[in-house]
Amino acid sequence: MRKKLAVIGAGAVGTSVAHWALVKAVAEEVVLVDIVEGLAQGKALDLAQSAPIYGFSGKIIGTQEWEALKDAQVVILTAGRPRKPGMSRDDLLKVNLEIVRSCVEEVKKYSPEACLIVITNPIDAMVYTAFRVSGFPKQRVIGMAGVLDSARYRYFLAEALGVSPKDVQALVMGIHGDHMLPLVRLANVAGVPVTELLPPEKIDEIVKRTQQGGAEIVSYLKTGSAFTTPGLAAVEMAEAILRDTKRVLTCSVWLEGEFGIEGVFLGVPVVLGQNGVEKILEFELTTEEREALNLSVEAVRAQIIKTGL
């Protein structure tokens, strides 16, 4: 079957998703959908015209028509308002709730068998909204958060150590927000624990910077939020599904007892393949880690209540 990826929202993040999808050739066809007249068409044409220079051969279409979602195996939802300085992700909840709800209704109508990846903030609440509105099985509704947060964590560790980020392995679990949990004891450089390479105060500084990674970028941009790495993170997830590569990535998924948590979407390590979430990789947490993760659970539950779903 011809691989088709649909991206809803032609803003900075949606355009980044489409760009990386073309460059990485994860699908033969990429469809960019936005309700703003001409926006998706213009962005798609600009991306298409880079093909002779870069050398990719995938097809991209920009449109306002929801029917273009038909037969997409993966739909990435980026539509929504970005954060501005001084705004928390929670501040976005009411604004983006209705946007996500309306977009998911269209996905449900035209791509009922697709895997749905949600980027819109606050991610853990918006992916819950998508789950409830779509009625899709839990394996096919996934939030993008941990891939991005883990990338930031890995970069900050690599920067502090003066090593290639490719050689740093690190995991961030929990909510995509201030209570996220960058796991220190599992972070390593080519197998060497970072606790053996960095002093505790430096590690604490990196953990805090990771937790505030999005806000730091917002403080510089003033009128927008991060887009390059979020777009690539979502494409990494889409690629695992479209190519059935069984990648282990941290994603926001519906938990039913894993890690002792039930009834929330939360970032945990999972195996992604053609069926979406194929397995949750559960492991024993320390008492301190479990307490920190519970703060994420409480924050997500509070967001879920605000959705009214």
64 belongs to a structural domain: yes
105 belongs to a structural domain: yes
Instruction: Establish whether 19 is a catalytic residue.
Output: no
62 belongs to a structural domain: yes
- Write phi, then psi, for 285 (nearest 5 degrees): -100, 155
225 belongs to a structural domain: no
Domain at 26, CATH number: 3.40.50.720
266 belongs to a structural domain: no
Q: Which residue has the tokens 């201030």?
A: 178
242 belongs to a structural domain: no
Residue 122: asked if its preceding bond is cis (omega within 30°), the reply is yes
51 belongs to a structural domain: yes
Residue of 68, 176, 251, 255 marked catalytic: 176
- Angle among Cα 276, 215, 80 to the nearest 5 degrees reads 50
Per the CB < 8 A criterion, the answer to whether 230 and 221 are in contact is: no
Domains of the chain: total = 1
Query: What's the predicted TM-score (pTM) here?
Result: 0.96
Two structure tokens written together for 86? 């001084």
Per-residue pLDDT of the chain (309 residues; tens, 9 = 90+): 789 999 999 999 999 999 999 999 999 999 999 999 999 999 999 999 999 999 999 999 999 999 999 999 999 999 998 777 777 767 788 889 999 999 999 999 999 999 999 999 999 999 999 999 999 999 999 999 899 999 999 999 999 999 999 999 999 999 998 899 999 999 999 999 999 999 999 999 999 999 999 999 999 999 889 999 999 999 999 999 999 999 999 999 999 999 999 999 999 999 999 999 999 999 999 999 999 999 999 999 999 999 998
- Selection from 169, 180, 154, 156 nearest residue 293 by Cα: 180
10 belongs to a structural domain: yes
Per the CB < 8 A criterion, the answer to whether 190 and 158 are in contact is: no
Two structure tokens written together for 209? 């910077």
- Full residue range of the structural domain in which residue 46 is found: 4-143
**Angle between helical axes of 123-134 and 93-110 (0-180°, round to 10):** 40
CA of 108: how far to CAs of 81, 115, 277, in Å? 22, 11, 19
